[in-house]
Amino acid sequence: NAGVTQTPKFRILKIGQSMTLQCTQDMNHNYMYWYRQDPGMGLKLIYYSVGAGITDKGEVPNGYNVSRSTTEDFPLRLELAAPSQTSVYFCASSYGGSRYNEQFFGPGTRLTVL
Amino acid sequence: AQSVAQPEDQVNVAEGNPLTVKCTYSVSGNPYLFWYVQYPNRGLQFLLKYITGDNLVKGSYGFEAEFNKSQTSFHLKKPSALVSDSALYFCAVRDGNAGNMLTFGGGTRLMVKP
């Protein structure tokens, strides 16, 4: 049971480039989330999904897109990278529809936009 | 809107001494409260949560937290700190009236010295 896995671990992008951050979970969780963590700050929610085919915006969605075609995968797309998107990105998942359940986090992707 | 405050950027404690990491919250409905720990270059790991019931919640690695409704606080505690407890700790809240959004505090760095 690998839990939540993320690729790549590190990436450097030039301004205007695009990329997809991959996230996969093998716990059959139907809820999945993308967060960004800026230095000295807490996590901010970018997008989340309550199941395959259903996504919704979080607190800071601008500049990002997501899709959820399967239960396991929840990729995050950056279309036109900007320096403000330099951050550490965490994917997370949780079980079921209960808001009481804790989230399980991946190891993160450190992204630098130059 | 829901919010979380962790008033201390860093807490220093000697090994073997008790530790407290503070957290206060603001919600409009019932609070669902969580503590997570983050070790260097890792994702967040769940420690404990308060949903309802006893105000003293016990979690992983000997940690516990006390829910205080009148003071809107959820402080993390441990009777005897270990050097290996040194990490970044995040408090998070979900408002019972606010759907699926989990709001994180800015984090507190715990340094336990031998």
User: What digits encode the pLDDT tens for the residues B83-98?
Assistant: 999 999 999 998 766 6
Q: In this predicted structure, what is the pLDDT of residue B41?
A: 79
The residue of chain B with its CA nearest to that of A37 is B106
The residue of chain B with its CA nearest to that of A31 is B100
Q: In this predicted structure, what is the pLDDT of residue A16?
A: 96
Q: How many CB atoms lie within 10 A of CB A64?
A: 19
Q: What is the mean pLDDT of residues B44-52?
A: 93
Q: CA of A113, closest CA in chain B: separation in Å?
A: 19
- For residue B99, pLDDT over 80 is answered with no
Q: In this predicted structure, what is the pLDDT of residue B53?
A: 86
Q: How far apart are CA B7 and CA A91, in angstroms?
A: 26
Q: How far apart are CA B2 and CA B28, in angstroms?
A: 7
- For residue A97, pLDDT over 60 is answered with no
Selected residue of B44, B88, B101 to mutate for chain A interface (largest A Cβ count, 10 A)? B44
Q: How many CB atoms lie within 10 A of CB A85?
A: 19
Residues of B in contact with A92 (CB under 8 A): 43-44
Q: In this predicted structure, what is the pLDDT of residue B36?
A: 96
A107–B contact, CB cutoff 8 A: yes
Contact predicate B76/B46, CB 8 Å: no
Secondary structure class of A83 (helix, strand, coil):
helix
The end-to-end CA distance of chain B, in Å, is: 41
* Inter-chain touch B106–A42, beta carbons under 8 Å: yes
DSSP per-residue letters across B6-69: ---SEEEEETTS-EEE--EEE-SS-EEEEEEEE-TTS-EEEEEEE-SS-SEEE-GGG-EEEEET
Position B40 confidence tier, pLDDT thresholds 50, 70, 90: confident
